[in-house]
């Protein structure tokens, strides 16, 4: 796909006839208009029908109209183009459109490089006396736009005469001559060429609505089957873990019953409640951590009042002998006494 034209999936507007709504997302409205003109010119070459949609003006109102302001009700949207035609013709048109737009932009970039080489030459010194870096950037940007417009205007011409440059004029006033130079160097742009494999891939996207719905249902069914399989695996893992825990508890109880002489008691696992597998927990999206103003957990707990922090010096002053605070343990409980 091209970065200069957005091509959504064509839809069947009539039996054997498909429609696609192109969009030109260039930041500059003037540049998007040139891409629109390229697509319009190419439609006549490939035998498809093109039309520019109407766009309402959101700033228009009836009161502005009766008051005599310049706000119009709407106009043609140069950032969109609706193209209709047969599946094969439309596929060839879309494949050629991506290539032609990219090649025309490449020619405009080549013309800007020619302009940069001219700025660094001796012939440009008389014209750059009152120019600075900011004005030259504006000159270069406007020069590229003018060259792109000149290339688009002569796109449908079979032959283009090459005019020479006029040394008495600056190069930013000769965008037509530079456009013809780069066109002649490259050899022009072929408006009809379209790769067979790319056309077949593009034509495969043009399927009737019933087929598209069937594909969507197949994808949804595959997703449902996969979700059921994952749920069965999760339940089986819960059962295996529960059985392993019960088996370990029974072995421990058998050893304890043998020591106590109570082998007749039933195992603990026989009285356990049946396994209840909890539903999967929803995945909560994690928020980005805050890098500034973060506190340690203990500091946050101390500030909130949940934990009262006592300085070590105060503890030493109140209880010089900390061993006297130990709780006495009975002799039969010695094995539970924590290690010192």
Asked whether the predicted pLDDT for residue 229 surpasses 80, the reply is: yes
Asked whether the predicted pLDDT for residue 337 surpasses 50, the reply is: no
Asked whether the predicted pLDDT for residue 308 surpasses 70, the reply is: no
Asked whether the predicted pLDDT for residue 14 surpasses 90, the reply is: no
What confidence tier does 81 reach under pLDDT thresholds 50, 70, 90?
very high
Average pLDDT over residues 291-305: 63
Instruction: Tell me how far the alpha carbon of residue 254 is from its chain's centroid.
Output: 61
**Distance set, CA 246 to CA 249, 250, 268, 275 (Å):** 5, 6, 8, 11
Asked whether the predicted pLDDT for residue 331 surpasses 90, the reply is: no
Whole-angstrom distance between the N-terminal and C-terminal Cα of the chain?
72
What confidence tier does 88 reach under pLDDT thresholds 50, 70, 90?
confident
102-132 burial, b at 16+ Cβ within 10 Å, e below that, comes to: ebbbebbebbbebbeebbeeeeeeebeeeee
Using DSSP's 3-state secondary structure scheme, residue 169 falls into: coil
Per-residue model confidence as pLDDT tens digits over 63-78: 666 666 666 777 788 8
Alpha carbons 241 and 238: distance in angstroms, whole number: 5
Per-residue model confidence as pLDDT tens digits over 98-133: 889 998 999 999 998 988 898 888 888 888 888 888
pLDDT on residue 50 = 92
Quickly count helices (H) and strands (E) in the chain: 9, 6
């Amino acid at each position: 796909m091209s970065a200069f034209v957005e091509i959504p999936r064509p839809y069947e507007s009539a039996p054997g006839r498909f429609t696609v709504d192109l969009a030109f997302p260039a930041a500059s409205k003037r540049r998007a208009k040139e891409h629109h003109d390229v697509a319009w010119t190419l439609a006549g070459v490939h035998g498809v029908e093109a039309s520019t949609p109407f766009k309402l003006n959101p700033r228009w109102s009836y009161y502005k109209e009766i008051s005599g302001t310049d706000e119009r009700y709407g106009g043609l949207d140069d950032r969109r183009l609706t193209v209709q035609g047969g599946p094969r013709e439309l596929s060839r048109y879309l494949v050629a459109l991506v290539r032609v737009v990219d090649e025309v932009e490449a020619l405009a970039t080549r013309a800007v490089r020619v302009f940069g080489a001219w700025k660094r030459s001796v012939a440009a010194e008389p014209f750059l006396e009152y120019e600075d870096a900011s004005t030259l950037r504006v000159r270069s940007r406007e020069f590229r736009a003018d060259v792109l417009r000149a290339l688009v205007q002569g796109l449908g011409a079979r032959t283009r005469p090459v005019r020479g440059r006029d040394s008495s004029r600056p190069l930013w006033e000769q965008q037509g001559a530079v456009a013809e130079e780069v066109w002649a160097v490259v050899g022009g742009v072929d408006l009809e060429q379209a790769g067979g494999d790319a056309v077949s891939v593009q034509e495969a996207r043009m399927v009737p609505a019933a087929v598209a719905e069937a594909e969507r249902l197949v994808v949804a069914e595959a997703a449902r089957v996969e979700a059921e399989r994952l749920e069965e695996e999760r339940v089986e893992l819960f059962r295996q873990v529960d059985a392993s825990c019960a088996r370990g508890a029974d072995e421990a109880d058998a050893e304890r019953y043998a020591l106590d002489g109570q082998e007749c008691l039933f195992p603990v696992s026989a009285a356990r409640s049946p396994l209840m597998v909890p539903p999967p927990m929803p995945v909560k999206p994690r928020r980005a951590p805050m890098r500034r103003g973060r506190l340690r957990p203990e500091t946050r707990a101390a500030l909130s009042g949940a934990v009262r922090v006592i300085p070590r010096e105060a503890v030493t002053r109140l209880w010089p002998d900390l061993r006297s605070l130990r709780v006495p343990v009975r002799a039969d409980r010695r094995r539970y006494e924590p290690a010192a």
